[in-house]
Amino acid sequence: MNDLKEFIKGKSLNSVELVVFSIAGSRKLQDEVRLILNNASITIKEDKSILGGYLLKVGDSVLDRSHATRIAQLEKHITISGLDTDSDVIKQLSSLTDSFEPQDSIAEVGTVIALKDGVCVISGLWGTMYQEVITFDSGVKAIAFNLEAESVGAILLGDYTKVKVGDTAHRTKRVISVPVGEELLGRVLDPLGNTIDSGPKITLTDYYPIEKLAPGVLERQPVTQPMQTGIKAIDVLVPIGKGQRELILGDRQTGKTTLAIDTIINQKDSGVISIYVAIGQKLSKVVNLVEKLRSKDALKNTIFVVAGASDPAPLLYLAPYSATAIAEYFADKGKDVLIIYDDLSKHAVAYRELSLLLRRPPGREAFPGDVFFLHSRLLERSVKYSDDKGAGSITSLPIIETQAGDISAYIPTNVISITDGQIFLESNLFNKGVRPAINVGLSVSRVGGSAQTKAMKKVAGKIKVALAQYRELEAFSQFAGDLDESTKLQLTRGQKTVEILKQNQYSPLTLSQQVISIYAVNNGYFDQIDTLNVVIKETQLHDFSKLKYPKLLDSLETGVWSDEIEAQLENLCKEFFATDEH
Ligand code: ATP
Ligand code: MG
C-alpha cells in the first residue's frame, strides 16, 4: 500500500475514481483505498473489460493494475523474447511467464470537453508539452496546440468525426515527428510523413521532430555558393545563394509556381535535393507538377509534401514544418537542399482558422498576434552550415500570393522582412508577354550577389545599368522618331535586353548559356535583330556555341572569367552574328 501512497502524493484528491471488475468482490480493496485517501470521496465503477485487478484515477493520472493491461504486457514480453517453435513450446512459455514481472502503468488522461471543426479542448493532461501527440481510444490523434491552466487545446489529425465530447484523451509524451530517410526521394507524402502515391510502402526508423530551434550563429557560415535556378532573369538580376531565403510573390496566375518548378528541374544533375511543399492547392495541379518533374527526370531527387485544398486546416498548418524536418535530415548529412513553400498565404489562413477556433485573440486582418513568429521560426531554419557541421544547406523559396499587387498587406510585408530578398511578379508584365514577369525594380536579393560566379558578375553589372536606363526612357519610346541617336540606341538596347530576359517555362539554361546570351546583348550583337526574332536567334546562338566552342562552354560552366575567355566570347559572337543573315 506504500506505493499507492506514493502515487497519490502531491495530487489533488478532488476527483478520485476506482475502477474494479466487480464491486461486490472488491470490498477489501475499497476499504484499503479509502483508508489511504483519508476518507476523501471516491467514485467506484464496475468495468468487466479490465478482467480483474483495478484502476485508480486521481485527477488526470491513472494507475493501471488491471489484468487486461498485465496480459497485454505479458503478450509483448513473449513476442519480444521470441519462441522457438521447434523445441518444447510449453516449457519455453512457462519459463518466459516465470521471468515476466508485471509493471504498474501510470498514464495521464484527460477528457474532451469541447469539439469544433478540427480542434478540441481537453480538460486535464496538465503535464502536456507543446506539440505533444495526444491519442484517443478511437485511434484518432491530436497535437497539443494551446496550453492553458485548466485545459489543453488540440488540433485533430485524421478522421476527427470519430472523436466525441466525453472521450478519454491520453498523453504520449512524444512531440510530433516525421519519418526521414533516403527512401523518401521521388515520393509524395502527406504532412505526417505517410506516402500517398502509388509507390511501394516504406518503413523508416529515423524520426525528426517537425519543429526545431533554428541553428545558431556559430553553426552557420555566410552564403557564398550560387543556387542556379536556370532562369536568366533570376540568376542574373536577383541571384540566389545556397542557404538563402528568397520570397517569390505575386498575384494569382503570374507564374510563381512555374519559377519554383523550373528551379527544381534545373537541379536534375546538380546534386541538390528539392522538396516541394504544396499547401492548400488543388490535387490535380500537384499531380501535374509531379508528372512534369517525372518527365524531365527531376523527380528522382525531389520530395513532395502535400496538404491539399480539401485537407483540414491542421494538416495545412503542419505541412511546411514537417517538410523542413525532412530537409534538415538531408542538410545534417552535408547535402544541399532546396525547399519551396507553395504557398505561405494559405498557410497563414489555415493558422488563422485554427487560432480563431481555439479563441486566440484576433489582431490585424483577424490573424493571431504571433503570425509573424509562425513564419519567422520556419524560415530561420534555412541555413548554410559551417564546415564543422558538415557544410550542408537549406535554401528556401517561400511563395506568397498578393491581392491586386499589394505587397504592403500584412502577410507579404511580414515575410518580406523575414527573407533575404524578394522576386516580385506582376500581372501587367505577365499579360504583356514578359515571362517570367519579374518586376526588376521591386525585386532584390540581399545576399545572393556574393554567391554569383565571377563570369556572371561580370556580365550582370552591365545589364542592370541598361535596364535601369531603359525604364527611365521607356515612356518616350512612342516618340522614338524625335530622339537623338544615342537615346535611340539606349532604347533599342533596352528592348533587346528585356527580350533576352524572357524565357519559356520548363527550359532552364546552363550557366554558360546564360553568360553567352547576356554578353551578346550587352555588347550590342542583338541590336540589329528584329525583337520578335530575338528568342529564336538566342537558341541558335546556343546551338552554335555548343558545336563550335565546346571548350569555352566548359570553362564558363565553372564560373571563371579571364581576358582570354572574354576574347573567345567576342570571337564566338562575331562569328555567329556575321555568318548569319538576320
Ligand atoms: P496560382 O496563383 O494559380 O498558383 P501561379 O502564380 O503559381 O498561379 P503558374 O501556375 O506558375 O502561376 O503559371 C500560370 C500560367 O502561366 C500557367 O499556365 C503557366 O503555364 C504559364 N506560365 C508561367 N510562366 C511561364 C513562362 N515563363 N512562359 C510561358 N508560360 C508561363
Ligand atoms: Mg501556383
Domain with 552 in it: what CATH number?
Answer: 1.20.150.20
* pTM of the predicted protein model: 0.87
Domain with 160 in it: what CATH number?
Answer: 2.40.30.20
Atom of ligand 1 nearest to the CA of 259: 11
| 550 and 494 in a common domain | yes
Task: Residue 50: give the domain boundaries.
Answer: 2-99
CB of residue 258 inside a 6 A radius of ligand 1: yes
| 184 and 171 in a common domain | no
Q: How far apart are CA 456 and CA 445, in angstroms?
A: 15
CB of residue 281 inside a 6 A radius of ligand 1: no
CB of residue 427 inside a 6 A radius of ligand 1: no
| 498 and 440 in a common domain | no
Strands 119-124, 151-157: pairing kind: antiparallel
| 187 and 132 in a common domain | no
* Catalytic member of 65, 171, 446, 471: 446
Please give the pLDDT value at position 105.
Answer: 78
8 A C-beta contact, residue 572 and residue 545: yes
CB of residue 401 inside a 6 A radius of ligand 1: yes
Q: How far is CA 197 from the centre of its chain?
A: 18
Can you name the residues that pair with 46 across neighbouring β-strands?
Answer: 20
CA of 453 to the centre of ligand 2 (A): 30
- Nearest C-alpha to atom 12 of ligand 1 is from which residue? 255
Atom of ligand 1 nearest to the CA of 260: 11
The dihedrals phi and psi of 194, each to the nearest 5 degrees, come to: -85, 140
Could you please report the per-residue DSSP string of 29-46? HHHHHHHHTTT--EEEEE
CB of residue 403 inside a 6 A radius of ligand 1: no
Atom of ligand 1 nearest to the CA of 254: 6
CA of 254 to the centre of ligand 1 (A): 5
Query: Distances in Å between the alpha carbon of 277 and those of 35, 251, 324, 479, 484?
Result: 59, 19, 9, 48, 52
C-alpha cell at 265: 528541374
CB of residue 245 inside a 6 A radius of ligand 1: no
Mean pLDDT, contiguous 10-residue spans, the chain (582 residues): 78 84 88 82 88 86 88 83 75 82 82 90 89 92 91 90 91 94 96 93 93 95 95 95 97 96 96 97 96 96 96 94 98 97 96 92 93 96 96 97 95 96 95 93 89 92 86 72 81 92 95 96 94 94 95 94 95 87 50
Asked if residue 334 is part of any domain, the answer here is yes
Strands 61-66, 105-116: pairing kind: antiparallel
DSSP 378: H
Q: How far apart are CA 495 and CA 433, in angstroms?
A: 13
CB of residue 346 inside a 6 A radius of ligand 1: no
Query: 179-235 pLDDT, tens per residue?
Result: 999 999 999 999 999 999 999 998 899 999 999 999 999 999 999 999 999 999 999
Query: 356-371 pLDDT, tens per residue?
Result: 998 889 999 999 999 9
Please give the pLDDT value at position 569.
Answer: 95
CB of residue 253 inside a 6 A radius of ligand 1: yes
| 270 and 223 in a common domain | yes
8 A C-beta contact, residue 74 and residue 53: no
CA of 255 to the centre of ligand 1 (A): 3
Q: Which of 249, 251, 253, 426 to mutate to test the pocket of ligand 1 (most atoms within 8 A of CB)?
A: 253
Q: How far apart are CA 326 and CA 332, in angstroms?
A: 10
8 A C-beta contact, residue 250 and residue 402: yes
Enumerate long-range contacts of 67-75, CB under 8 Å, 24 or more apart: 67/21, 69/105, 70/102, 73/100, 73/102, 73/103, 73/105, 74/100, 74/102
Please give the pLDDT value at position 1.
Answer: 62
| 419 and 346 in a common domain | yes
- Nearest C-alpha to atom 24 of ligand 1 is from which residue? 255
Asked if residue 154 is part of any domain, the answer here is yes
Q: Which ligand lies nearest the alpha carbon of 254?
A: 1
Query: Distances in Å between the alpha carbon of 542 and those of 175, 390, 513, 518, 575?
Result: 53, 37, 6, 12, 13
8 A C-beta contact, residue 132 and residue 178: no
Query: Can you point out the beta strands (E) in 309-461?
Result: 336-342, 383-384, 393-401, 421-425, 444-445
What amino acid occupies position 567? A
Please give the pLDDT value at position 246.
Answer: 97
8 A C-beta contact, residue 250 and residue 403: no
| 484 and 435 in a common domain | no
Could you please report the per-residue DSSP string of 276-312? EEEEEE-HHHHHHHHHHHHHTT-GGGEEEEEEETTS-
CA of 277 to the centre of ligand 1 (A): 17
Domain with 89 in it: what CATH number?
Answer: 3.40.30
Asked if residue 523 is part of any domain, the answer here is yes
Asked if residue 370 is part of any domain, the answer here is yes
Q: How many CB atoms lie within 10 A of CB 289?
A: 23
| 186 and 165 in a common domain | no
CA of 186 to the centre of ligand 2 (A): 21
Q: How far apart are CA 122 and CA 111, in angstroms?
A: 5
Please give the pLDDT value at position 480.
Answer: 56
- Nearest C-alpha to atom 30 of ligand 1 is from which residue? 505
Give the closest residue to 348 by CA, choosing from 260, 280, 435: 280
Q: Which ligand lies nearest the alpha carbon of 250?
A: 1
Asked if residue 474 is part of any domain, the answer here is no
DSSP 213: P
Q: How far is CA 407 from the centre of its chain?
A: 23
Q: How far apart are CA 133 and CA 247, in angstroms?
A: 32
Q: How far apart are CA 529 and CA 68, in angstroms?
A: 85
Please give the pLDDT value at position 478.
Answer: 67
CB of residue 230 inside a 6 A radius of ligand 1: no
Q: How far is CA 379 from the centre of its chain?
A: 9
DSSP 273: E
34 is catalytic: no
Q: How far apart are CA 340 and CA 320, in angstroms?
A: 9
The dihedrals phi and psi of 495, each to the nearest 5 degrees, come to: -60, -45
C-alpha cell at 157: 489529425
Asked if residue 466 is part of any domain, the answer here is no
| 197 and 140 in a common domain | no
Last residue in a domain, options 53, 83, 99:
99
Please give the pLDDT value at position 581.
Answer: 52
Last residue in a domain, options 175, 201, 229:
175
Asked if residue 373 is part of any domain, the answer here is yes
DSSP 183: G
Q: How many domains does the chain have?
A: 4
Largest CA distance in the chain: 110
Q: Which of 232, 258, 342, 435 to mutate to test the pocket of ligand 1 (most atoms within 8 A of CB)?
A: 258
| 544 and 420 in a common domain | no
Rounded to 10°, the helix 511-522/550-557 angle is 100
Please give the pLDDT value at position 117.
Answer: 84
Can you name the residues that pair with 53 across neighbouring β-strands?
Answer: 66
| 506 and 386 in a common domain | no
Rounded to 10°, the helix 563-579/534-548 angle is 120
Terminal-residue alpha carbon distance, the chain: 100
Domain with 405 in it: what CATH number?
Answer: 3.40.50.300
CA torsion sign, 570 to 571 to 576 to 581?
A: positive
User: 502 exposed, middle or buried (CB, 10 Å; 0-12, 13-18, 19+)?
Assistant: middle
Last residue in a domain, options 175, 206, 224:
175
CB of residue 504 inside a 6 A radius of ligand 1: yes
Please give the pLDDT value at position 582.
Answer: 47
CA of 354 to the centre of ligand 2 (A): 23
| 385 and 250 in a common domain | yes
Asked if residue 461 is part of any domain, the answer here is no
- Nearest C-alpha to atom 23 of ligand 1 is from which residue? 255
